[in-house]
Structures are given as structure tokens and as C-alpha cells.
Structure 1
Amino acid sequence: MNPSLTPDISPRPSACPGLWRIVAARDGGICRIKLPGGLLLADQAEAVADAAERFAAGVIEATNRANLQIRGIGAQHQALIELLLAAGLGPREAAGDDVRNLMLSPLAGLDPAMLLDTRPLAAQILEMLESTPRLHQLSAKFAVQLDGGEGLSMLDHQHDLWLSAIELEQRSWLAFGLAGCPGANRALGAVPVEQGLALTRAVLERFLDLATPEQSRMRQLLESCSVEHFIDGLGLTLRRDAAVLDWQRGKASVSWLGTLAQQQGMALGVAPPLGRLTPAMLRGVARVARELGDGQLRLSPWQSLVLSNIDPARAGAAQAELRALGLLCHADEPLARITACTGSSGCAKAQAETKGDAVTLSALLPPGALASVHLSGCPRSCAVAHVAPATLLARSPGRYDLYSRDARLPGFGALRASDLTLKEAGALLDLPTEHLDD
């Protein structure tokens, strides 16, 4: 054991878990492993499984930011951290780990619809975040998205800075926005792709120049600072003509489960039920990725995994093996459309056992009944990064209020019914999507 490794917090206290910061919960400690662009190698997956088995309760979760976390960690924090660092799952400095919040498409560099392979720029941004001491002042929640125009892309998660590839006059540019997402917000400007790193650095440093200690996120800063004032101080020449300012990112066109097209070959999207993996399940996925693919697992913001470069001739066998492990392989499976927070067994704030209730609810829904529903144990809804089409908010064990998303309303949207049992909720959710997704 390296005696210099001390699982301390980063320079600014935070309740957000990290690799080095193990945060206490009702079911034990939580360690979050921030993956570079969601990428996890098969050998690393096996290391995570070993760590969860040896030093925790064996619960591994895929997160909605394309990362992994281990729950139920016992007293051996340093041994768990050392095992994960030895597998290359984080930097040797806590501050450099906190800020590695960069989201890509799970098919970055492979998606047939992409305008840009984002991986080279992503590597530069991550290196900058890890190695620049001033940027370590950013909140552990401050997040950046780099979108290459892929068909498989999460466009609804709010980010402090988002960049999205566009083609103008047969040249690649990066449009950008602040405190929003490419799926809902128009661009504020654009730079040539080769200036993407400079733009990212300028935005992050401008934020740190202007933000007060209480303003940890871009949306908080923009409540007191105009967008124009922020942009004027970037020190870059931005393109801000109508072609950029009127541009709108097209919707993602690909489901995250099942067979996925690549520019060459194919990939498979699979999901652990309710985002939770056992060590045996993760080892099994790693084995399939190594034997039938390229040895890579790509985590997604849908709490799923993508196995890339699968041999098309063996795709059926791969899916059969993955299904036997307990993974969901098709989007029309009811449980594939349900998410849930940790629930009262792991969180003191939760009013219901949401994970178990989600399984019960899934049995009440026919295939394809609903686009998406989230069970939240309390109003914080920390397990989802955007409002789901339908939200069941727990009010007591086994009883929920039903909300449907409404862009005109804050929070979860419009209250549709109160104090429902799971059976009553299932009856209301057994409706065509358009009745609930406003």
C-alpha cells in the first residue's frame, strides 16, 4: 500500500462522491468512478467488480452521467481506492478527479451519423481539467458536454457548458451554449473545431473570474451576470451570425438498447435493471466485450452500457449471453423504461423503497406502454439529470404522487394524481405516451 495515498476530500468540501471522496449513506460509503468519456476497459471492469466484492456490499451502479459508483463500502477506504487507481480509473490527485465531468456519446468516434470524432478533443479537455490547478476550483458538479452530432446522444441533460458539432460552408465548427443543453437551447456562438480547447478553457476561466463562492454552477452565475457580459470577456473571436444563432441541434434518432449501427460493424446496447450491476454481472459483460467485441464497455447517460465493435455474425450469441446475465437488451421491456433513485434502504431522505417499487410497477405495465417514468423517493430527484416524461414522487411507503412533464411548469411538471398505490399508478401509466409527455 502506498502510504502517500490518503482518501481525503478535495480542496473544497462537497457532498458529491468521487474516487477519492467516499461519502456516507444509509447503506454504507459511496465511491464514484468518473470514466473518461464513459469508457471502461474490460480489465478495469473486472477491477471494479473486485473492489465492490472485497471492500463493499457488491452493489455497482451505472449513473446518469455515464460513470460508475460502488455502494455499501465498509471501513477499508484506502484499499479500495488503491485497487481502483492501480487499474487506471483515476488520477493520483483528488482535485484532478473532481473536475473530470465531460460527457460524450457512447458511440463517440463510431456513430455513422457523427459530424466529428470528439475523442481527440475530449482527451485534451480532460488533460487540461486534470492538470490545471486553477480549474480544480470548479465544483465537483460543474459539467461539460461535447456532442459530435451522433445519432446516439443524450441531448436533454443540463450542462454548465455544452459544445456541439455543426457544418458551415463545408467546415467543422463547434457551437456552444451555457447552462443548458443542445436539445433545447440555441447556440450562443461558434468557433472552428481546432479552437475547441481554447474555447473550453476561456469559458471555465471566465466563470472562475466572475463567480462568487456561492455560485458553483453556471446557471447561478447567469442570474446576476448577463450572457453578453460573460461572452464579451472570453477574449476569443466568435462566430455569432444567423447561421449559428438560429441553429438548432436535431433530435437523437437512435435507441440506446439493442443492436446499434457503427460506421463499420455494430455495437450492442444493454442495461442493468434500474442501473444496478452485481460483480458477477459486470465480470460477465467484460468477458463478452473481450471475447466478442473490442474489449471496451462504454457507459451511457441512460444508465446503460454499449459494447462496441461486436462481430455481427456473433451478435445473437452475445445478446443471449448478456440476457442470461440479467441485462435488458430491448427498449420495449417495461423495466428498461423505468428509473428509480436509491430509495429508503440506502438514503435517509427517501420516503419509499423506490427500487423495489419500480420492479413491482414494471410488472403492471405492458411492453411499450410509456416512454419513461422515474420513481423519486424525495423532491430532490438527484438520480435523474432531467425531468422524466412521468415522475412518481413518494409521499409514504408504497404511495406516490404522479406528475407529467410540462415545459411551462417548474419542477416535475403538472400534478396528475395524488396518493396513488402502485396498482393505481400503473393503471394511469398504461396510456399512450402523448397523454403524459407534454
Structure 2
Amino acid sequence: MRRFLFVGFPLNERPSSNVVRPSGCPGLLRVVQALDGGICRIKLDGGAIQADQAEAVASAAERFASGVIEATNRGNLQIRGIGAEHSALIESLLAAGLGPRIPAGDDVRNLMLSPSAGIDRQMLFDTRPLAAQILFTLQTHERFPELSAKFAVQLDGGEALAMLEHHHDLWLSALIHDGEPWLAFGLAGSPLDKPAGRVPLAQGHALVVAVLELFLDLARPDQIRMRHVLAEIPTDVFMTRLARRVPLQACLDWQRDGSIDGLHIGVHPQHDDRVYVGAAAPLGRLDAVMLRGAAQLARERGDESLRFTPWQSLLLPNVRRADADDVLARLEGLGLLGSSEQPLAQLIACTGSSGCAKALADTKADAHQLAELLQRQGQPLKIHLSGCPRSCAAAHIAPATLLAVAPGRYDLYFRDATLPGFGALQAHNLTIEAIGHWLDARPRSPLDA
């Protein structure tokens, strides 16, 4: 059974609301107990963190936990293996400025941006000013603590580097209409879906507030996600009620262009004369030395900031072109992955049985073994290893999924949009060695997409 510890603020400052939607998700103020100790999740504004804050996370992981730091699939960080000194760990993170504006705002800081917001060559406009407005309101609105910690919003500026496969309760995506900036938006989906409508950019903040307030007006306490409400209330009815709160226009002919794969790793030009440099944390795992080293590089060669991505990688923005190759080499020297051609950079794995009681296999160890097999075969394939059906490590369906059925054994699925869950079952109860042989013998197909 999981245990939750809410610490860091006096009792009279803790969240309160008329509706309580309990969450098993860790937060900065709520440490969740796992097999390998406590977990503390640090939500980053737009995935960004300053170098001194990153060093504070590294020190907290060393002093109060096992030293394991994870990059999450929403561009956040979490510390694993926390021991008895929960309060001291949380106080150190609060002192570094990593907490919410008010205690009640911690759970609802769920706004995902492109990791290249404001610097992307393809962006239609800089989403960060609007994001700052939305984040402030998410944390300070008197009703928004009623939202579940899983309720999520995405703001997309049309960047080439954008995670478009994650589903969100509300998504907003940039478009230009008659030379003016607008936002297409949709409910319970992603920017790749048909939009429900559009509003001028200046109305973006009002739209977010109206959607969230209407959701709370309609949702029962057990309905924590937008899809739960829309399963009972048709989307057109929701939209009719929404239009009474904020002016909406139809958005019939708009479609979001896809993002460009691989832009989260390596050296890539910005919209100015600088570049950003990206490297992946192997299977989402960092340690204090890696994070501290990356922070020092950001201070020396960048703008003293880091950005974490939904691909479990990090970016150093605003690097001079002349320094880029050296920065990438130094990130690789820290143990980060600097090329998408490396098989390990294409694999996703959950915590596995070493840290989670629900997992049926040690997915991290098995993923390392699989990466070695794929390296020998020259196959950098996109594969997700999940210790149980909850799929905690991936917020979207990967081209291929290995679902653990026993220690070291997996069912293999290929993604199929016509089927629910992980897709089409290809093989059952395979060992890692057998999976390597099976993949080597298969015709080249959806796995390479």
C-alpha cells in the first residue's frame, strides 16, 4: 500500500476545497512511498529550471535520498529513494524556488509547453507569456485545487519540437488567421485531432479559465478527466455551454503539422544565431553528478537554464554555435545520450520491479539488455517496456510495447489505431533474447516510424 506524506507547510495552509479528488501521484509536497523509498515530483514551469535550482535538486537527491533523479514524460523531475527526512528534502527544494505559489497550487501546475518554446525556428509565436498567465491562475484560482493532479493542459506554439501524441484534457495550438495570432483548441485529445474551435490569442487565458470552471461545474468527484465528463455529456453540449462564457469561433479547415522527430537530441539551430543542445537521460534516469554537470555547462556555455522534455531528455538553450560540439561531447561524457541512433535513446521503460510492487519484471535492466541486442543488430527501434498494464512510463502508445507477464518475459504488441490498449498482439511470453531475434527477423514496418 502506498503512503502519502504532505509536508512543508503548516496545517492551516494546506489545500482545501469543496470537492476532493484524491491522487496517488507524487508531488513536491506529497511524498509517495514505493518499494525503493519515497518519490517526490518537482513540477517545472514549461519544463525549465535554472542552473542553481538543478544543483539544489542534485544536492537534495544526494543528501536525503538514493541519488536517483528521473526525467518524466511531462518534462518534470522526480527524486526517488527518499528516506526518513522528507521535510528536510522538501524544505530544501522550496528554498530553491521550486515550489508552487501557494500550497494548494502544487498538484495543478500541469501545463506542458514545447521544450523549444520561444526559441524554435518553426514557432508561430512565443507561448511563454501566455503560459505564465495560465500557470499563475492554475495555482491561485480558488476553485482549481478541486482539479485532479492528473488533469493536464497543453499549449503548443507550432514548434517543430513538440510532443503531439500525449492526450490532454485541454489543448491549445497556435495558428495564424488573416495575419493575426489565434489558438485552435480541443478537449480530451491532442493537437493532431480536429479542433473544437478557436479564439484570438488575447482570449487564450480566458478560454482556459472558462473550460476548467465549466469542467468543475459539470464533473462529479469521481470524474477526474475531461474524457469522463464527455462520456456522459456530448461535446457539442459542452461547447454550447462554453460559448456562453467566452466567445468562440469554428475552426473547420485547420490541421496541425506534425513535429520533427529527433529534435530533442543533438545540436539544432534556434530562430536566432544560437543553437540548443539536447541529450537524453538513459531510460529517463539521471544521477546527481549528471544533473550537476549539466547545470555547470548551462552556466558556462548557455543562459544558465536547462529545459526538460517529454522524451525524458534535457536541452541547453542559447548556446553559441562555436561551443555546440564541445557541449554535446561533455554531456555525453556525463553519461547522457547525444544521438538518436543509439538504441537506448529510443527505449522507454517504467521503474520496474526494483522499485514498484505492481511491476512483473525488472524493466530497466531488461531494457539495457535489449538495447545491447539492438545495437549489435543496428536497429534503433522505438519500444516501450511496461511492467504492468498501467503504462506509467509512456503517456502515448509507442510503435511497439513489451508488456511484462513474468520476470524477464513479455508480450509484444504493435501499435494499431483501430485497436484499444497497446495495439495488436504479435507474440506472447518472450524472453529478451527471443525478442531480439524476433525483431531482427521481422520485415521493416511500423516499428521504424
Task: Report if TM-score (shorter chain) is over 0.5.
Answer: yes
Q: Is the contact made by 1:333 and 1:368 (CA closer than 8 Å) also made in structure 2? A: no
Q: CA deviation at 1:222?
A: 0.3
Q: 1:137 to 1:279 in 2, by over 3 A?
A: same
Are the equivalent residues in 1 in contact too, given 2:70–2:79 (CA < 8 A)?
yes
Q: Distance in 1 between matches of 2:65 and 2:444?
A: 39
CA distance in 1, matches of 2:106, 2:446: 43
Equivalenced residue count is: 433
- Normalised by the size of structure 1, how large is the TM-score? 0.96
2:445 equivalent to 1:434: yes
Shift of residue 51, structure 1, vs aligned partner: 0.5
Provide the C-alpha distance between the structure 1 equivalents of 2:282 and 2:235, rounded to a whole number of angstroms.
41
Shift of 1:369: 2.1
Instruction: Structure 2: give runs of 5+ residues left out of the alignment.
Output: 1-6
Match of 1:206 in 2: 214
Correspondence for 2:36: 27
Deviation at 1:429, TM superposition (A): 2.7
**Sequence identity, in percent?**
60
- CA deviation profile, 1:363-416 (whole Å, cap 9, x unmatched): 000376244101000111111100110000111111111000000000000000
Aligned match of 1:57 in 54, 61, 66?
Answer: 66
Equivalent position amino acid for 1:263 in 2: H
Q: 1:270 matched to which residue of 2?
A: 279
Aligned counterparts of 1:175 and 1:407: Cα–Cα separation in 2: 24
Could you report, residue by residue, the CA deviation over 1:134-176 in whole angstroms, capped at 9, with x for unpaired residues? 0110000100000000000000000000000011111110000
The separation in 2 between residues aligned to 1:426 and 1:8, in whole angstroms, is: 53
Say if 2:253 is the partner of 1:224. no
Does 1:378 pair with 2:388?
yes
Contact 1:369/1:433, CA 8 A, preserved across alignment: no
In 1, Cα distance between equivalents of 2:413 and 2:279 = 28
Tell me if the contact between 1:405 and 1:437 (Cα under 8 Å) persists in the aligned partners. Answer: no
Give the Å deviation of 1:236: 1.7
SS of alignment partner, residue 368 of structure 2 = helix
Q: Is 1:421 aligned to residue 431 of structure 2?
A: yes
Distance 1:27 1:246, change over 3 A: same
User: Are 2:371 and 1:362 equivalent residues in the alignment?
Assistant: yes
- 2-structure distance, mates of 1:352, 1:436: 22
How far did residue 239 of structure 1 move? 1.0
1:10-42 CA-partner distances (Å, limit 9, x unpaired):
543310100000001010000000000000110
Question: Which one-letter code corresponds to 1:434 in the other structure?
Answer: S
Q: Secondary structure at the match of 2:170?
A: strand
Aligned to 2:200: 192
Check the 8 A contact 1:49/1:282 in 2, yes or no: yes
Aligned to 2:4: none
Q: Which amino acid aligns with 1:429?
A: L
In 2, the alpha carbon distance for the partners of 1:437 and 1:405 equals 12
Listed as ranges, the matches of 1:15-164 within 5 Å are 15-91=24-100, 93-164=102-173
Q: What is the letter of the counterpart of residue 31 of structure 1?
A: C
Q: TM-score, normalised by structure 2?
A: 0.93
The 1:368–1:258 alpha-carbon spacing in structure 2 relative to 1, beyond 3 Å, is farther
- 1:94-115 CA-to-partner distances (Å, cap 9, x unmatched) read 3211100000000100001000
Partner of 2:3: none
Deviates more, 1:297-306 or 1:3-12: 3-12
Q: In the TM superposition, what is the alpha-carbon distance from 1:428 to its structure 2 partner? A: 2.5
The one-letter amino acid of 2:257's match is G
Residues 221-277 of structure 1, C-alpha deviations (whole Å, 9 max, x = no match): 00000111111112222111xxx2231111002521111220111001101100000
Counterpart of 2:88, as a letter, is A
Shift in Å, 1:437: 6.6
Q: Residue 246 of structure 1 aligns with which residue?
A: 253
1:432 CA displacement: 6.1
Contact kept in structure 1, 2:382 and 2:447, CA below 8 Å: no
CA distance in 1, matches of 2:433, 2:319: 40
Q: Write the distance in 2 (CA, Å) between the matches of 1:302 and 1:362.
A: 17
Would you say the 8 A contact 1:370–1:429 is kept in 2? no
**Is the 8 Å Cα contact of residues 162 and 180 (structure 1) preserved in structure 2?**
yes
- Which letter does structure 2 place at the counterpart of 1:55? F
Q: Give unmatched runs, 5+ long, in structure 1.
A: none
Residue pairs, 1:271-350, within 5 angstroms: 271-350=280-359
Alignment partner for residue 413 of structure 2, among 397, 403, 409? 403
Cα shift at 1:91: 1.9
Structure 1 residues 291 and 423: CA distance shift in structure 2, 3 A: same
Counterpart residue type for residue 246 of structure 1:
D
Q: Which amino acid aligns with 1:113?
A: Q
- Residue 268 of structure 2 is aligned to residue 260 of structure 1: yes
